Amino acid sequence: MKQKWNNLILIVSLLLITGFLTTSLASYYVSLASLRSQITKKELPLTSDNIYSEIQKDLLSPIFISSLMANDIFLRDWIINGENDITQIIRYLKEIQDKYNTFTSFFVSEQTKTYYHADGILKKVKAEEERDRWYFRVKSMKSDYEINVDPDMANKDSMTIFINYRVRDYQNNFIGTTGVGLKVNAVKDLIKKYQESYGRNIYFVDKKGMITLHGSSLLTYVKQLSEIEGVSSLASDILSKPDGYFRYKRNGKTIHLNTRYIPEFEWYLLVEQSEENGTRQIFKALQINLAVCAVITLVVLSITNMTISAYQKRLEKIAVTDKLTGIYNRQAFDLVIHPILKDIQRKKFALSLILFDIDHFKKVNDEFGHMAGDEALKHIVKLCLETIRESDILCRWGGEEFLILLKECSLEDAYEISEKIRETIQNTPLIYKGKEIFSTISLGVSRYHLPEREDSFIVRADNLLYKAKQNGRNRSEMEPS
């Protein structure tokens, strides 16, 4: 009757705890879903729109300036008339740079291949030079302009965002490339300002997934989208859509990502937001609810403890270890083998078995006494444990007979292990009361064949053990491979 009351109280306690947990977790996940919906449907798209608007205002200005330069009558006439007065083009580029506060301004002539800069003539561009390939790429492209990030030779190779704009004459023939440049650091500062204003992580990638611009929050060694933790597996999806929403884990935190293609730059704008700040209050409420549940749990612990104590006593009655040697007994083997056989049906790994018996063990008991026999058994078990792997299972099968189960072990490897055990036992006597007691063992080695039962598996090893004894003992016998 007492046991029934204990069980009833435990059930009621579990129901109360389950009720509290269910209510608390349901409230938490509903609030979390609402927060995520707010982030994905309102906050991130609005942030992306605001950033895009500011980018248009702050970064599209150089495109407009370059367009004005490419269509400037003075520039085209100066080129068509033979590029005679170099001071005119230098003064023109200098005025553009000063008026619009750009980092650099330039013009490269198709006729003379001269690279004009606000500070003078920089060089002659050549198709075979790596650093001049940008010009010949612009010459052959179909669009009017491109945005390119390159070192600026005229400014100590400072990383610069160039707007390279094609210049055409009045008959629409290509006659050169002009444009302006912005310092990358200045644009990074702009991104940093956006990140501080909106609390988001912002960066840009091109159509190939290469990171073109980013703020300080992105690791400096990261060069492409596929190298960013969490985003790497989504890179192909991001680059295949004009816009999208994604969610992933990074450093244990849930990150939301909004992507948007900017056709003017042919770049993707990526805006990340962690939900950590938003979930902090929700999680705090969950903690309060769980604290209430914990108080109830403490009340129930005494009842649970009584139940566990009774269960532990029951476990002690069905102990799975051999009292003499401390290894598994035969009953424990029955509990171990079934999950392994189920596992082997799914994973198809090799399973081998060694069954061995101590030769003439009765003589040890007769000559040295049963205490010596017990010590001999413990000695052999110790040698076996030192020889086999940690994943192998050693059981006392009965009397002086032992069984070793070897997972992911082929028949040939199992035979080598059996021979190593046999030789170790043969060459390592037990020192008992100053006397050396030598022992030998006979072993049978078999392997498991799907889908047989464990009985036939063990019977084969037992037959091989009997064969080893018939063939003179102190030997291993294995089934044909």
pLDDT at 185: 67
Q: Are 354 and 404 in contact (CB under 8 A)?
A: yes
179 CB-near residues (< 8 Å, 6+ apart): 62, 66, 69, 70, 105, 106, 145, 162, 163, 164, 165
- Residue bearing the bigger pLDDT, 252 or 15: 252
Q: How far is CA 415 from its chain centroid?
A: 39
What distance in Å separates the CA atoms of residue 280 and residue 278, rounded to the nearest whole number?
6
Q: Residue 308: pLDDT above 70?
A: no
pLDDT in tens, 53-86: 776 666 678 888 999 999 999 999 999 999 999 9
Query: What is the average per-residue pLDDT within 159-186?
Result: 86
Q: Quick one: what percent of the chain has pLDDT higher than 70?
A: 85
| CA–CA dist 267, 238 (Å, integer) | 12
pLDDT of 177 reads 96
Give pLDDT, residue 162: 84
In 3-state terms, what secondary structure has residue 479? coil
Residues 406-442: tens digit of each pLDDT: 999 999 999 999 999 999 999 999 999 999 999 999 9
Kindly list the distances between the CA atom of residue 309 and the CA atoms of 6, 301, 303, 314, 316, in Å, as whole numbers in the listed order.
12, 12, 10, 9, 11
CA atoms of 102 and 306, how far apart (whole Å): 80
464 vs 162: which has the higher pLDDT: 464
Does residue 318 have a pLDDT over 60?
Answer: no
* Average pLDDT of span 377-400: 95
Average pLDDT over residues 133-159: 81
Separation CA 346–CA 287 (nearest Å): 41
Q: Above 70 in pLDDT, residue 215?
A: no
For range 360-368, the mean pLDDT: 93
What pLDDT does 292 receive? Answer: 74
Torsion of CA 35, 37, 43, 44, to 10 degrees: 120
Question: 442 by DSSP, 3-state: which?
Answer: strand
CB within 8 Å of 466: residues ≥ 6 apart:
444
Residue 455 CB partners (closer than 8 Å, separation 6+) = none
Measured CA to CA in angstroms, residue 70 lies from 178, 182, 244 at distances of 6, 18, 35
Question: What single-letter amino acid sits at 437?
Answer: I
pLDDT confidence of residue 31? 74
- Report the C-alpha gap between 210 and 206 in whole angstroms: 6
**Using an 8 Å Cβ cutoff, are 394 and 326 in contact?**
no
Instruction: Tell me how many degrees the CA angle 401-377-443 measures, rounded to the nearest 5.
Output: 35
Res. 220 pLDDT band, cuts 50 70 90: low
In whole angstroms, give the CA distance from residue 108 to residue 114.
6
Quick one: pLDDT at residue 199? 72
Instruction: Check: CB of residue 26 under 8 Å from CB of residue 227.
Output: no
CA distance 359 to 469: 8
- 213 closest CA partner among 197, 196, 195, 230: 195
Q: Distance (Å, rounded) from C-alpha 372 to C-alpha 365?
A: 7
pLDDT at 33 over 70: yes
The pLDDT value given to residue 307 = 64
At residue 192 the predicted structure's pLDDT band, cuts being 50, 70 and 90, is confident
* Dist. CA 473–CA 465, nearest whole Å: 9
Indicate the average pLDDT of the chain: 85
pLDDT at 419: 97
Question: Model confidence at 392, in pLDDT bands (50, 70, 90)?
Answer: very high
User: Is the distance from CB of 233 to CB of 223 less than 8 angstroms?
Assistant: no
- H or E element that contains 115: strand 114-117
What region does 139 belong to: left with phi over 0, alpha with psi -120 to 50, or beta?
alpha
State how beta strands 476-478 and 441-447 pair.
Answer: parallel
**4 pLDDT exceeds 60?**
no
Rounded Cα distance, 172 and 179, in Å: 18
Alpha carbons 376 and 379: distance in angstroms, whole number: 5
DSSP-derived 3-state class of residue 116: strand
Mean pLDDT of 116-140: 91
Q: What number of other Cβ atoms are within 10 A of residue 46's Cβ? A: 12
Instruction: Name the residue among 135, 261, 161 with its Cα closest to residue 204.
Output: 261
The pTM of the full predicted model, rounded to 2 decimals, is 0.45
What whole-number distance in Å separates Cα of residue 347 and Cα of residue 343?
A: 6
- Pairing type for strands 430-432 and 435-437 reads antiparallel
Q: Report the percent of the chain where pLDDT is more than 90.
A: 44
Exposed/middle/buried for 409, CB within 10 Å: 0-12, 13-18, 19+? Answer: buried
146: left (phi over 0), alpha (psi -120 to 50) or beta: beta
Distances (CA, A) of 377 to 116, 380, 400, 474: 94, 5, 7, 16
Quickly state the pLDDT bin for 313 (edges 50, 70, 90): low
Rounded to the nearest 10 degrees, the angle between the axes of helix 370-387 and helix 411-427 is 140
